Amino acid sequence: MDTDVQHTERDRSSAQGTDESLPEQRSRSARVPARASGFLRRLTLRRAAGLGVVAGVLLLLLSHFVVQPFLIPSTSMEPGLQVGDRVVVNKLAYRFGSEPRRGDVVVFDGTGSFVQEAGDRNALAGLVQGTAAALGLAEPAETDFVKRVVGVGGDRVKCCGKGGRLEVNGMAIDEYYVHPDDAPSRVPFDIVVPEGTLFVLGDHRGKSRDSRDHLGDPGGGMVPLDKVIGRVDWIGWPAGRWSSLEPTMTFDSVPPGGAHG
């Protein structure tokens, strides 16, 4: 009898101890998944941040060497390009020996031609603004411009000639891309484009400050070839204006420069 009593008491004690330990075990088991979940969340956030940094660097490299978004800041290229359009600048267009052609729409650094000196600015602010502009999120630098090439090295460009039209090397040009409310130019000029440079005009001639406005400045308003950033090939945004800029054939019959009349 004593033995049976002892076994019964031991069994009850063992069962009671097991019941008392259940809440503690459940608490521990609940804490382990919580810690694991927190760790995974932190790991996911770090990974997302890392991927964001890598993606940003890749975008900047792509923008620097291949294609760059460019925000159209003014009405100077209407009607083809409108304020707020984000165009895609092809930086490889002139990278392998080819040069801008008459009719190309180009983005260029106007330092020395349209802007004589770059303005002083805070270095950090300039870096931030430059990065945002390179991604198409901000207006371009004050030294960057978008215009259409109407004359290349050796060309004689004159306005206005026969029928009040622009002439290149003696040939009158049908400039269908010019804003319908504009004349080819209300400022007369007759110039020869130096070799290695470009003569550029905006399509909205009455609203564009272009090579005509800098003829008397150092550099004569001519854009050196090495200042050309790239060619505008596409309108990328807004979505309703997605399109490519088809090359114009209006200059195809222009005779080569050099034999000016």
Please give the structure tokens belonging to residue 116.
């004589």
**Distance of alpha carbon 210 from alpha carbon 223, whole angstroms:** 10
Is position 211 annotated as part of the catalytic site? no
Alpha helix segments (H runs only) across the chain: 2-65, 123-134
| 143: CB partners within 8 A, 6+ apart | 109, 110, 111, 114, 115, 118
Query: H or E element: which one contains 86?
Result: strand 86-90
Please give the structure tokens belonging to residue 181.
């409310």
Residue of 91, 147, 158, 227 with catalytic role:
147
Report yes or no: 104 and 149 within 8 Å, Cβ to Cβ. yes
Provide the residue type at 132 as one letter: A
Is position 14 annotated as part of the catalytic site? no
Provide the residue type at 18 as one letter: T
Q: Which residues are catalytic, by number? A: 76, 147
